[in-house]
Amino acid sequence: MTLEQRIERLEAIEAIKQLKARYFHACDTKQPDRVRDCFAEGDINLVYGRIGSFGHRDELVAVFRKLACHEHIVEMHHGQNPQVRIIDVNTAEATFGLFYHLIDTRQQTVTQLGGFYEDGFTRENGEWKICSSHYEVVSTQIFDLTEGLAKPVFAGGVAPVELDDPGKQAE
């Protein structure tokens, strides 16, 4: 690999890391248009467990608006340990760890999830975009805050849907 190719590869890796960080920040600050801008135009493949599966970025944004864009939903997405693999000048893959913290002030619950994103990226008009993303939960903690103390409700892998139903956030 030439020095120029190595620099281009490093720049691509950094651009992909920055893209994922922008996505997490846009989610946390409830900016649906910025969330949308992180994804490729046209057909994409997103599989986000109980949140849903999506074939177009507008489908994801519609669910994001419905479930997350409320004052009673306080979220923090902590992306970590990126492992970016450049396939060619316009294609890449990456694994990102995610520590997710959700406070639902209406339901008086705290949910912490740990898991992994397996993502695909494509370059559109010179910019990297997410074209596929699969998120898998590997650890869950749910706490009930209604009695003034954090009371554990669940600790383990994937919580039963009756304890962790994202649809309840919109109620």
Question: Which residues are within 8 A (CB) of 169 and not within 5 positions of it... i.e. 6 or more apart?
Answer: 67, 68, 70, 73, 104, 107
CA dihedral 49, 129, 14, 85 (to 10 degrees): 70
User: What token pair was written down for 22?
Assistant: 């922008």
Predicted model pTM? 0.95
pLDDT in tens, 115-152: 999 999 999 999 999 999 999 999 999 999 999 999 99
Judge whether residue 58 has pLDDT over 80: yes
**What's the CATH number where 56 sits?**
3.10.450.50
Which pLDDT score, from 0 to 100, does residue 169 have? 81
Q: Which domain range does residue 101 map to?
A: 3-170
pLDDT digits (tens, 9 = 90+) for 144-160: 999 999 999 999 999 99
Number of domains within the chain: 1
Q: What is the pLDDT of residues 26-55, one digit of tens each?
A: 999 999 999 999 999 999 999 999 999 999
